[in-house]
């Protein structure tokens, strides 16, 4: 794990003397290198992303939207599109933000198995820091299925653009939740007044939400780990992600007429895991009938063990512990194996990972995660953990003894995938073989790689290309057959006119205001 692989930093405003100098540079002169080289500004009020309590974080994000909202009056760039007026939600008292474990909104009814997949159990309007840039927002508690085929339920947070495209275009945004604790769900983190410690996922999620809204897209952000916080369980994420789209379409208070809709999936890092698994399950019997026209994912965990190896002993080794604990949350036989094979330090670490978000897991960093097991790394060669290590191999066929529905593992819609060879958080090594396999089996895949950019910086670097691809998918102009590989593949340089046009001026304002990444963390976006 590279100690210089970057995470998140703080915010400054254009009027602040510490505001990054590249914000005022001509568009063509703003480079990724300048972003990566930035250091934390010294503004006493606005230098707190990633280390403050949640209340300060939301005040800070609200300030960013004051900067961004004036840029969101209309979609930026591109051809003219038909627009519709977004409906306002009915006026209800809005519940105070509560952790999911104590919020009755998250309680599933005894009759849950009588609901169809994607059916809405209950919903509520919600206050978020996006109020100035959305026509309406709501949280939807919907029925889904867990990785064992049991009825389950989780939440998606739905945002309506002020000028929605007609017919509706929907982005399913899979956030990097990256936690084995049910109280670290993105729905809770997005609420005003939340005390969530999952602060590291908000800046990138905010930029993506605003980018989608600026294009007139509806943006739906599901709690894709499910109610058990099954971090890195691909099957869980797939079902949650697919049923979140169904629930979004069913929520007529925000999307009154979904006829002719199109949808895409998008995610980075832990969100890429959820986006990629949701996408590959679209061809299964579970995912049929949905009009998904494309997907993008980057920094994708293709294979579990190489990423565990990369994270172990590093400055974000807590992610490896959380991933292993998250799998145990979903699979009882794996959890039983853990309890028989974890030493006392391992049991304490797993318990901490299941009760704390990223900001509370610093004590799990710089640790060899395999030291938690009685026989070290060799313990994972036992049949039970091996079964789940193999199960989490992206692109591998699954039969009905491994998942409730079988898949062939081939991506069924056009995909843009990207990854840095220098990624110190999610292993790049297994990615080329995955790409080769997908291309050999007929996937429509554009793969772009780069070198020299850390995990977080790669998210920023490719954001312009991502939104160009997703717009082409909605427009029906994306490459629908064959594979394209782009070495050093960033086409829209950070801060260029094309980059800003693709993500929208409001999202660019957010990224520029947040600077980029510091060397203080190696995970995050």
User: What pLDDT does 359 receive?
Assistant: 87
Same fold, 67-91+112-303+396-513 and 319-391: no
Q: Is the pLDDT of residue 41 over 70?
A: no
Task: Return the closest-CA partner of residue 355 out of 391, 326, 387.
Answer: 326
The contacts found for 111-116 with CB under 8 angstroms, 24 or more apart, are: 112/143, 112/151, 112/152, 112/153, 113/151, 115/143, 115/151, 116/143
Confidence of residue 405 (pLDDT cuts 50, 70, 90): very high
Query: To the nearest whole number, what is the mean pLDDT of the chain?
Result: 84
Q: How confident is the model over 267-306, as pLDDT tens digits?
A: 999 999 999 999 999 999 999 999 999 999 999 999 999 9
Q: Is the pLDDT of residue 310 over 60?
A: yes
- The residues facing 483 across adjacent strands are 445
Residue 394 in 3-state DSSP? coil
φ and ψ at 231, to 5 degrees?
A: -55, 130
Strand 262-268 relative to strand 415-420: parallel, antiparallel, unpaired?
A: unpaired
φ and ψ at 240, to 5 degrees?
A: -60, -40
How many Å apart are CA 250 and CA 257, to the nearest integer?
10
CB 469 within 8 A of CB 476: no
The sign of the torsion formed by the CA atoms of 61, 67, 69, 72 equals negative
Task: Return the closest-CA partner of residue 365 out of 231, 520, 229.
Answer: 520
More confident residue, 96 or 250: 250
Contacts of 409 (CB under 8 A, 6+ apart): 280, 394, 395, 396, 397, 398, 441
- The residues facing 143 across adjacent strands are 153
User: What pLDDT does 73 receive?
Assistant: 43
Q: Is the pLDDT of residue 77 over 80?
A: no
CB 96 within 8 A of CB 106: no
Q: What burial class does residue 475 get, using C-beta atoms within 10 Å of its C-beta: 0-12 exposed, 13-18 middle, 19+ buried? A: middle
Q: Is the pLDDT of residue 376 over 60?
A: yes
User: What pLDDT does 512 receive?
Assistant: 86
User: What pLDDT does 95 receive?
Assistant: 67
User: Which conformational region is residue 488 in: left (phi greater than 0), alpha (psi within -120 to 50 degrees), or beta?
Assistant: left
Domain 319-391: assigned CATH number: 1.10.260.130
Q: How confident is the model over 161-180, as pLDDT tens digits?
A: 999 999 999 999 999 999 99
CATH architecture of the domain covering 67-91+112-303+396-513 = 3-Layer(aba) Sandwich (3.40)
Confidence of residue 29 (pLDDT cuts 50, 70, 90): very low
User: What pLDDT does 196 receive?
Assistant: 87
User: What pLDDT does 522 receive?
Assistant: 39
327-338 average pLDDT score: 99
CB 373 within 8 A of CB 346: yes
User: What pLDDT does 52 receive?
Assistant: 31
How many Å apart are CA 35 and CA 322, to the nearest integer?
29
Q: Could you state, in order of their start, the residue ranges of all structural domains in the chain?
A: 67-91+112-303+396-513, 319-391
- Is pTM beyond 0.95? Reply is no
Confidence of residue 515 (pLDDT cuts 50, 70, 90): low
Residue 123 in 3-state DSSP? strand
Q: How confident is the model over 236-270, as pLDDT tens digits?
A: 999 999 999 999 999 999 999 999 999 999 999 99
- Report in angstroms the alpha-carbon separations of 103 from 142, 375, 504: 15, 40, 35
Q: How confident is the model over 439-469, as pLDDT tens digits?
A: 999 999 999 999 989 999 999 999 999 999 9
User: What pLDDT does 63 receive?
Assistant: 46
Confidence of residue 46 (pLDDT cuts 50, 70, 90): very low
Residue identified by tokens 């499910």 is 226
User: What secondary structure, in 3-state letters, does 227-240 show?
Assistant: CCCCCCCHHHHHHH
Strand 445-450 relative to strand 415-420: parallel, antiparallel, unpaired?
A: parallel
Question: Which tokens belong to 80?
Answer: 């003219």
74-87 average pLDDT score: 46
Q: Is the pLDDT of residue 368 over 90?
A: yes
Q: How many CA atoms lie within 13 A of 33 on its CB side?
A: 4
Measured between its terminal Cα atoms, the distance across the chain in Å is 16
Contacts of 270 (CB under 8 A, 6+ apart): 175, 176, 177, 178, 231, 232, 301
φ and ψ at 137, to 5 degrees?
A: -150, 150
Confidence of residue 143 (pLDDT cuts 50, 70, 90): very high
Confidence of residue 125 (pLDDT cuts 50, 70, 90): very high
How many Å apart are CA 221 and CA 172, to the nearest integer?
6
Strand ranges inside 223-337, DSSP E: 262-268, 292-298
């Amino acid at each position: 794990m590279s100690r210089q692989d970057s995470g998140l930093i703080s915010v400054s405003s254009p009027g602040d003397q510490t505001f990054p100098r590249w914000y005022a540079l001509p568009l063509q002169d703003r480079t990724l290198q300048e972003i990566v080289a930035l250091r934390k500004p010294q503004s006493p009020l606005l230098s707190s992303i990633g280390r403050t309590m949640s209340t300060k974080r939301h005040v800070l994000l609200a300030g960013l939207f004051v900067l961004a909202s004036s840029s969101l009056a209309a979609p930026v760039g591109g051809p003219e599109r038909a627009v519709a007026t977004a409906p306002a939600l009915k006026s209800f008292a809005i519940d105070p933000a509560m952790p999911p474990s104590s919020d009755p909104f998250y309680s599933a009814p005894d009759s849950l198995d009588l609901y169809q997949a994607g059916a809405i159990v209950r919903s509520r309007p919600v206050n978020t820091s996006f109020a100035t840039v959305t026509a309406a927002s709501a949280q939807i508690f919907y029925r889904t299925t867990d990785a064992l085929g049991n009825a389950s339920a989780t939440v998606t947070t739905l945002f309506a653009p002020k000028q929605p495209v007609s017919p509706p275009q929907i982005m399913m945004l899979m956030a990097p939740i990256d936690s084995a604790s049910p109280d670290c769900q993105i729905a809770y983190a997005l609420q005003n007044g939340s005390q969530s410690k999952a602060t590291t996922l908000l800046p990138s999620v905010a930029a993506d939400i605003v980018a989608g809204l600026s294009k007139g897209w509806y943006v739906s952000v599901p709690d894709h780990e499910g109610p058990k916080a099954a971090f890195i369980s691909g099957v869980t994420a797939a079902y949650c992600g697919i049923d979140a789209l169904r629930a979004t379409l069913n929520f007529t208070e925000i999307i009154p007429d979904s006829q002719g809709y199109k949808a895409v999936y998008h995610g980075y890092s832990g969100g890429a895991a959820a986006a990629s698994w949701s996408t590959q399950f679209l061809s299964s019997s579970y995912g049929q009938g949905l009009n998904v026209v494309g997907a993008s994912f980057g920094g994708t965990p293709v294979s579990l063990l190489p990423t565990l190896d990369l994270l172990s002993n590093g400055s974000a080794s807590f992610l490896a512990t959380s991933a292993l604990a998250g799998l145990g949350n979903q699979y009882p036989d794996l959890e039983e194996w853990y309890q028989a094979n974890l030493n006392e330090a391992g049991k304490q670490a797993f318990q901490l990972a299941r009760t704390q978000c990223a900001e509370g897991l610093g004590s799990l960093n710089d640790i060899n995660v395999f030291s938690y097991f009685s026989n070290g790394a060799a313990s994972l060669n036992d049949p039970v953990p091996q079964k789940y290590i193999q199960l989490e191999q992206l692109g591998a066929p699954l039969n009905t003894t491994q998942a409730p529905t079988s898949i062939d593992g081939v991506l069924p819609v056009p995909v843009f995938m990207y990854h840095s060879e220098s990624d110190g958080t999610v292993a790049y090594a297994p990615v080329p073989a995955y790409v080769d396999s997908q291309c050999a089996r007929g996937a429509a895949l554009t793969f772009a790689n780069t070198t020299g950019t850390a995990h977080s910086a790669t998210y920023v670097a490719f954001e312009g290309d991502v939104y160009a691809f997703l717009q082409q998918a909605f427009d029906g102009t994306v490459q629908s057959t064959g594979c394209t590989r782009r070495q050093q593949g960033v086409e829209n340089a950070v801060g260029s006119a094309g980059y800003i046009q693709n993500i929208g001026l409001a999202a660019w304002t957010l990224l520029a205001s947040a600077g980029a990444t510091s060397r203080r963390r190696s995970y995050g976006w």
